[in-house]
Amino acid sequence: MANLELVPVHTRILTHRDDIVEAIMHYAGKDIGPEDIVCVAESVVAITQGRITRPEELRPTWQARLLCRFVPAEGSMSSVYGMQSAMELDGKWKVFGAFILGAIAKIFRKDGVFYQISRAAALTDDVTGTMPPFDKHIVYGPKDADKVAERIVQRTGSYGAVVADVNDLKRAAVLGHSRGMDPKRIARILIDNPFGNDDQMTPIVIIKNFASISERNKKRP
């Protein structure tokens, strides 16, 4: 009887010159079956899309310098360059307004409003937030993550695919997924971070036998 298995896939360093779907085929294609889910790290998808910049290429505004002071140190927005990078994507006044609304919402014990309004702030990885040699870069979130997942399914013949944001702090989120996937369920499966965030270079994870195990669970009384 098949069991659920998480299989990390080793790659070389992927850059903006790579197509993430073709990279998955090259490094994992022979291991992907029709009952499997292909998971790929969101930072690597963004890197292959060229969605990166270096801090020295940014000119921080007074808004970025002000707001970053109020963000906990572990967050990417605590850096003036991280905050500025979000403003480059969403617009400085949208980010500024989102931060003010988020601060007001906290008074009423509602967290996360800032990041709900400013998706760029939620998805941006500040320097050291990803694997070398891109640990000197700011990495924006991936573009069209759902479409990327659909392309992966079409190319690999897998049961499904997701673009996931997972870290070692027991935080996992699915940013994009193919049709029929339950993003919360996949996030729970990935919660222990099977990806290699540092020099392991395993940005692809295959969830083996997912379809058959899901079907088996449905039949249980």
Domains assigned to the chain: 5-50+141-219 (3.30.1330.100), 53-139 (no CATH)
What is residue 129's predicted lDDT score, i.e. its pLDDT? 56
Provide the Cα torsion 144, 171, 130, 118; round to 10°. 50
Q: Whole-prediction pTM value?
A: 0.86
What is residue 2's predicted lDDT score, i.e. its pLDDT? 67
Tens digit of pLDDT for each residue in 64-106?
999 999 998 878 899 999 999 999 999 999 999 999 999 999 9
Kindly report the backbone phi and psi dihedral angles of residue 174, in degrees, each rounded to the nearest multiple of 5, phi listed first.
Answer: -100, 120
The pLDDT of residue 215 is above 80: no
Provide the Cα torsion 11, 17, 19, 22; round to 10°. -50
Please name every residue paired with 172 in a beta bridge, in sequence order, or none if there are none: 166
Return all residues near 184 (Cβ < 8 A) that are at least 6 apart.
Answer: 174
Tens digit of pLDDT for each residue in 104-148?
999 999 999 999 999 899 888 877 656 667 778 899 889 999 999
CA 24/CA 80 separation, integer angstroms: 34
User: Which has more confidence, 214 or 155?
Assistant: 155
User: How open is the CA angle 110-113-115, to the nearest 5 degrees?
Assistant: 140
Tens digit of pLDDT for each residue in 21-64?
999 999 999 999 999 999 999 999 999 999 999 999 999 999 99
